[in-house]
Amino acid sequence: DQQVKQNSPSLSVQEGRISILNCDYTNSMFDYFLWYKKYPAEGPTFLISISSIKDKNEDGRFTVFLNKSAKHLSLHIVPSQPGDSAVYFCAALKTSYDKVIFGPGTSLSVIP
């Protein structure tokens, strides 16, 4: 059973516009959420995180929004740049000592 879902396998966005990547989860015990980015032929790299006590966390062009009641989070990238083209993994964990559960990823293409 997939506890972290990313229902859009791919997304295309024009350069300069907003990219919105969505993630849904089923386990209400999840308290921490992470986003990782992966370029081809490289391993995933950490991008941004949020804990369940917050509903928003911002880091430069990247903002993550969390809606606990809907069990939904989203990653916003504004403005999108061609270098943002990558696979984005949403991930969740119950406690800081728990294992990380990853989603299947969304492939983002930013078109110049």
Partner 1 sequence: DAMVIQNPRYQVTQFGKPVTLSCSQTLNHNVMYWYQQKSSQAPKLLFHYYDKDFNNEADTPDNFQSRRPNTSFCFLDIRSPGLGDAAMYLCATLRGTSALDTQYFGPGTRLTVL
Does 53 sit near partner 1 (CB under 8 A)? no
Interface region with partner 1, contact rule CB under 8 A, candidates 12-20, 43-51, 56-64, 77-85: 43-51
Binds partner 1 by CB under 8 A, chosen from 18, 29, 78, 100: 100
Query: Among 45, 55, 58, 59, which residue interacts with partner 1 (rule: CB under 8 A)?
Result: 45
Candidates 8, 49, 52, 57: give the one binding partner 1 (CB under 8 A): 49
- Extended strands (E) in the chain: 4-5, 10-14, 19-25, 32-38, 45-51, 56-59, 62-67, 72-77, 86-93, 101-102, 106-111
Size of site (CB under 8 A) for partner 1: 25
Residue 62 in contact with partner 1, rule: CB under 8 A: no
Task: Please pick, from the candidates 13, 44, 64, 86, the single residue that binds partner 1 as defined by CB under 8 A.
Answer: 44
Binding site for partner 1 (CB under 8 A): 2, 4, 9, 32, 36, 41-46, 49, 89, 93, 95-105
